């Protein structure tokens, strides 16, 4: 599918503000991809799909995930439904749009939680989603400062920020996020 057609399809599925977020994530992801030697085309595609299921009803997302039959994904149901759109989005990209590239599918799937063993593309999408220019929160300037930082350092900063945010809200942190953080800090 041509990028223009994909953008139109995404636009039809999302509220305008979320669509604008997706476009900013795509631009940020392409810039990070160039910086960290990843395919900008793959980064754009993953970014465009990353929130495709964001505004689906939780029951519909659950149905999509259950019908896919990957029981490893069922652990998501123990956490807030806000996390479910990543898995549902991966399935939609694969089933409705024919995306077969596992790296792109993983980037869509893990853009909310991260995980141990992330590829550079997966990290690019996770980071781009957090630091895109429309986001405003305390500490965003430090996260956006990519000068002299490796992709691993940026990912560590971003996943650490996300975990601390969730802890501050006193909500459960998905084990994939903890595994991601542990791998990054043990790498140092």
* pLDDT single digits (tens) 155-164: 999 999 999 9
pLDDT in tens, 5-64: 999 999 999 999 999 999 999 999 999 999 999 999 999 999 999 999 999 999 999 999
**pLDDT at residue 71, rounded to an integer:** 86
DSSP-based three-state secondary structure for 111: coil
**pLDDT at residue 3, rounded to an integer:** 86
Residue 89 confidence (pLDDT) above 90 = yes
Instruction: Count the Cβ atoms, other than its own, within 10 Å of residue 60.
Output: 12
Number of domains in the chain: 1
Average pLDDT in the chain = 95
Q: What is the CATH number of the domain that holds 90?
A: 1.10.3210.10
3-state DSSP helix/strand/coil percent for the chain, to nearest 5?
Answer: 70, 0, 30
**pLDDT at residue 186, rounded to an integer:** 93
- Taking residues 89-107, what's their average pLDDT? 97
Residue 125 confidence (pLDDT) above 90 = yes
The 3-class SS string of 163-176 reads HHHHHHCCCCCCHH
Q: What does DSSP assign to residue 81?
A: G
Locate 87 and state its tokens: 């898995």
Reported as a pLDDT band with limits 50, 70 and 90, residue 187 is confident
Locate 30 and state its tokens: 């392409």
Vertex 57: Cα angle to 55 and 63 (nearest 5): 120
Residue 2 confidence (pLDDT) above 90 = no
pTM of the model: 0.96
For residue 170, is it left (φ>0), alpha (ψ between -120 and 50) or beta? Answer: left
Residue 92 confidence (pLDDT) above 90 = yes
Cα–Cα dist 105/100, whole Å: 7
Reported as a pLDDT band with limits 50, 70 and 90, residue 72 is confident
The 3-class SS string of 5-27 reads HHHHHHHHHCCHHHHHHHHHHHH
Cβ proximity of 67 and 94 under 8 Å: no
More confident residue, 9 or 188: 9
Cβ proximity of 86 and 112 under 8 Å: yes
**pLDDT at residue 18, rounded to an integer:** 97
Cβ proximity of 93 and 105 under 8 Å: yes
Residue 153, judged by CB atoms within 10 A of its CB (0-12, 13-18, 19+), counts as middle
Q: In residues, how long is the chain?
A: 188
Q: The domain containing residue 73 runs over which residues?
A: 3-187
């Amino acid at each position: 599918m041509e990028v223009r057609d994909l953008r139109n399809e995404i636009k039809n599925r999302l509220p305008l503000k979320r669509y604008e977020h997706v476009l900013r994530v795509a631009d940020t992801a392409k810039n990070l991809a160039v910086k960290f030697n990843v395919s900008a085309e793959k980064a754009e595609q993953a970014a465009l799909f990353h929130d495709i299921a964001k505004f689906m009803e939780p029951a519909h997302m659950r149905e999509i995930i259950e019908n896919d039959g990957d029981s490893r994904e069922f652990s998501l149901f123990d956490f807030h439904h806000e996390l479910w759109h990543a898995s549902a989005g991966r399935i939609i990209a694969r089933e409705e749009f024919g995306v077969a590239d596992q790296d792109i599918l993983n980037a869509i799937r893990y853009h909310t939680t991260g995980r141990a063993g992330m590829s550079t593309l997966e990290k690019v999408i996770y980071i781009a989603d957090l630091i895109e220019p429309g986001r405003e929160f305390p500490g965003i300037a430090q996260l956006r400062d990519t000068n002299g930082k490796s992709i691993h350092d940026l990912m560590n900063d971003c996943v650490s920020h996300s975990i601390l945010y969730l802890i501050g809200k006193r909500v459960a942190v998905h084990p994939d996020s903890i595994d991601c953080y542990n791998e990054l800090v043990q790498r140092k």
